[in-house]
């Protein structure tokens, strides 16, 4: 995919949803957040050149532009995943489009399995770092110099200044906010108990099938990134019960009010 192709997709999106300096990517079970905005405009990914269709349950597959308390925000309502059979440059495409639409601050959200034994379903975790166990990167291939350098520094993919805002807001809300490392696995199977034991030994606190390629592409493009995981279930082997996607979606819906309030206040402060 060329830079010119990404530009064409961005131009098509801008014609409907406009521009903004802040964007939110919504994960599984969190898609209703866009309904809380004013002056909403939408465009389906399938209407944009170069975009595949989103097939994951709980991912609507659309960009939303709207206003919250007078501030313009773009929303990525659903993302693409490697397990859908979509190549990584297409997975990174929406993030690069957002960058061309003026986005400087990017809030990434996801539903994740709790690996840290102290966590509980329904809690929120601020991502401080990631572990990539897929061996894949959306930056593989010819570098797009228009976005960033060939060898980007990933020491602080998740921006400390945005993390400080998140901690402050959570404190003001008296909201329990966990912090930890997110591990990216390819899916679509949930991890085995043995894999979870390995992931815990490596230092991860939560596990999921997304977010890391988004964060890589955003970091490469010079965006400030905040990552938030909704711990929707405990990972395999921790509880003696099966893991289902329905549980993931239901837990995401259950904590919507806390999630919305946290994101709303963060947006107002950045």
Q: Could you give the residue numbers annotated as active site?
A: 28, 59, 81, 83-84, 111, 209-210, 233, 245
Question: What burial class does residue 92 get, using C-beta atoms within 10 Å of its C-beta: 0-12 exposed, 13-18 middle, 19+ buried?
Answer: buried
């Amino acid at each position: 995919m060329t830079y010119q192709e990404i530009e064409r997709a961005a131009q098509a999106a801008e014609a409907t949803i406009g521009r903004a300096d802040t964007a939110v990517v919504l994960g599984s079970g969190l898609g209703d957040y866009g309904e809380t905005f004013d002056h909403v405009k939408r465009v389906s990914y399938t209407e944009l050149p170069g975009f595949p269709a989103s097939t994951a349950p709980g991912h609507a597959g659309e960009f939303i532009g709207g206003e919250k308390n007078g501030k313009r925000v773009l929303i990525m309502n659903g993302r693409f995943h490697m397990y859908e059979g979509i190549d990584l440059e297409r997975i990174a495409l929406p993030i690069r489009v957002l960058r061309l639409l003026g986005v400087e601050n990017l809030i990434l959200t996801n539903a994740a399995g709790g690996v840290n034994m102290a966590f509980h379903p329904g809690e929120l975790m601020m991502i401080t770092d990631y572990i990539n166990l897929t061996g894949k990167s959306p930056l593989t291939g010819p570098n797009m110099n228009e976005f960033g350098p060939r060898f980007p520094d990933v020491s602080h993919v998740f921006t400390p200044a945005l993390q400080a805002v998140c901690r402050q807001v959570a404190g003001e809300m008296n909201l329990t906010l966990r912090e930890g490392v997110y591990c990216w696995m390819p899916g679509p199977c949930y991890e085995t108990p043995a894999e979870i034991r390995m992931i815990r030994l490596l230092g991860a606190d939560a596990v999921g099938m997304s977010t890391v390629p988004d964060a890589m592409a955003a970091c490469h493009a010079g965006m400030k990134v905040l990552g938030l995981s909704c711990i929707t279930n405990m990972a395999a082997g921790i509880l003696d019960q099966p893991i289902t996607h329905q549980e993931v979606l239901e837990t995401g819906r259950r904590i919507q009010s806390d999630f919305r309030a946290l994101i709303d206040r963060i947006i107002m402060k950045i």
